[in-house]
Amino acid sequence: MDTDEFRRCGTDMVNYVADYFDTLRSRPVMPYVQHGFLKKLIPEKAPHKAESYEDVKKDLEDVVLKGVLHWRSPHFHAFVPLASSFPALIADMLVGALSSMPITWSANPSGTELEVAMMDWLGQMLKLPEEFLFSSGGKGGGVIQMTADDSATVAIIAARARAVREHGDMTPGQTLDKLVAYTSAEAHTCIKKAAQLALVNIRLLPTDENFSLRGQTLAAAIKEDKNKGFIPFFLGASVGTTSTIAVDNLCELGKICEQENVWMHIDAAYAGSAAICPEFRYLINGVEYSTSFCLNPHKWLHVNLLCSAMWIKDRELITEPFNVDPVYLRNHNLNGDVKMPDYRHWTIQLSRPFTSLKLWFVLRMYGVQQLQERIRKDVKLAKQFEALVRNDHRFEIVAQVVLGVVCFKLKGKNNDVNEELLKRINDDRRIYLTPSTSKGVFYLRFCIAVYTTDSKDVSFAWNIVQEQTDVLLGLHVNGIDEKTKKIDKVDATECFQ
């Protein structure tokens, strides 16, 4: 493919993508496929002779799109948002084209310095304490990790290295055996997985009635463990758990971590982005106590995968244990009056894309104002869904709705019935929801996951929930219910076009 051919095919693909977005509302969100469907549709071996762009494109709808769950559909209400936006997609094309990696400063000077600038821009938008920003001239700074799992793993490995260093009276192996990390029973698995990978003990602590981890629980656990000879060294605190978007009490926890020399890492993967709105900034109050903090622009800040922003108060805590310095990675030019980071010392992997370019396009083309408005719009839609749930006496809300996720269940019904309801809703395939459990209770989660979801889509989804509930609870009486539906409910087919 030469540049002329690339121009022709690239333009065609941009049009295809635009058409995809234009028709997304009318596509069933869930694919109608079964395990092994693709095997029957593609050859067993790679083609020996080159095929044309047209040959490949011909199979997009019939092979690939056939089995795609449409995460960008306005009827997708699962998990937490996964960002994608046209400015980020455009920038992504350039990221791929440049293929220039900010691993050392000289490997991509613009990539390194734009990452420094974007992490400071974003940090300022969140009103992070100055010490997290490069612009403070202090020890802190930010880095783009691939995922929140990576951020948590980097944090725990760095915290482990610090603990081993501080306990020089023991061998690293002896210290490792005694280290204990904490997180809440509600936290995302990224914290537990990080501890597993770092080969350290971890305790999942119980939460209060709002699914929030409180200071006294942590203090009691630390006391108990110290009495047994363990060394508490790390807390994975959550701002917005995946299940209920619960927020741990960072101020209470932070004070204890400070006293006990415990590294507090905050996982704010989804909810942290809301802190760019002044009215939601309180969610990260207490961030000043943390050693490291992470949120994912690839969730709620319109940068498509992969982009997890991580800040640390003292960057040497990461760059020392992660440092490898072979001759082939040496910087070419160290002149200049400001010392810039070599990001290869901040991450697990070496190769890393020029992701700051995507942040740069998104932050400039939306501006802080539009990004705030988008968050507010999603929260408002979640509130709309919450009101619909609260108006139906058969349901109950499981957790306080603060941001864009509503956790709900059939009141007085056991886990099996609620699971059956979810199955029916998803089997219908017009919307897609995912569940969770907290304290042994199974519930459904409705997430405003996609920016194009509007108020009509929320009503549409609620109608489907009600329809399936009617059937499940055996209340569906033909005629009478149909009549009620016509009066009370938005016409589902109208939305599904």
Ligand X SMILES: Cc1ncc(COP(=O)(O)O)c(C=O)c1O
Residue 155 interacts with ligand X (CB under 6 A): yes or no:
no
Residue 270 interacts with ligand X (CB under 6 A): yes or no:
yes
Residue 190 interacts with ligand X (CB under 6 A): yes or no:
yes
Stretch that binds ligand X, among 236-244, 355-363, 370-378, 391-399 (CB under 6 A): 236-244
Compare residues 155 and 190 and give the one whose CB is closer to ligand X. Answer: 190
Q: Give me the phi and psi of 392, to 5 degrees please.
A: -105, 110
Structural contact between residues 260 and 251, judged by C-beta atoms closer than 8 angstroms: no
Q: What letter represents residue 287's amino acid?
A: V
Q: Give me the phi and psi of 349, to 5 degrees please.
A: -85, 160
Shortest Å, Cβ 445 to ligand X: 11
Token pair, residue 274, equals 């809301």
Residues 378-407 as x/- pattern, contact with ligand X by CB under 6 A: ------------------------------
| Footprint (CB under 6 A) of ligand X, residues 72-91 | 79-80
Question: Binding residue for ligand X (CB under 6 A) from 113, 267, 378, 467?
Answer: 267
The owner of tokens 């940090």 is: 123
User: Any residues with CB less than 8 A from the CB of 17 and at least 6 apart, and which?
Assistant: 89
Residue 415 interacts with ligand X (CB under 6 A): yes or no:
no
Question: Binding residue for ligand X (CB under 6 A) from 88, 119, 144, 148?
Answer: 148
Residue 291 interacts with ligand X (CB under 6 A): yes or no:
no
User: What is 268-299 written as a DSSP string?
Assistant: -TTGGGGGGSGGGGGGGTTGGG-SEEEE-HHH
Question: Binding residue for ligand X (CB under 6 A) from 92, 113, 115, 149?
Answer: 149
Compare residues 112 and 242 and give the one whose CB is closer to ligand X. Answer: 242
Stretch that binds ligand X, among 44-52, 171-179, 239-247, 438-446 (CB under 6 A): 239-247
Q: Count how many Cα atoms sit within 13 Å of the Cα of residue 354 in the half-sphere of its side chain.
A: 22
Structural contact between residues 83 and 301, judged by C-beta atoms closer than 8 angstroms: yes
Shortest Å, Cβ 242 to ligand X: 4
Token pair, residue 361, equals 């396009």
Question: Binding residue for ligand X (CB under 6 A) from 207, 296, 355, 418?
Answer: 296
| Footprint (CB under 6 A) of ligand X, residues 299-338 | 308
Token pair, residue 258, equals 């400070």
Shortest Å, Cβ 305 to ligand X: 8
Residue 297 interacts with ligand X (CB under 6 A): yes or no:
no
Q: What letter represents residue 384's amino acid?
A: Q
Question: Binding residue for ligand X (CB under 6 A) from 25, 77, 188, 374?
Answer: 188
Shortest Å, Cβ 286 to ligand X: 17
C-alpha–C-alpha distance, residues 224 and 227, integer Å: 5
Helix spans in 145-240 (H): 148-166, 172-178, 189-197, 215-227
Q: What letter represents residue 482's amino acid?
A: E
Per CB under 6 A, residues contacting ligand X are: 79-80, 147-149, 188, 190, 240-242, 267, 269-270, 296, 308
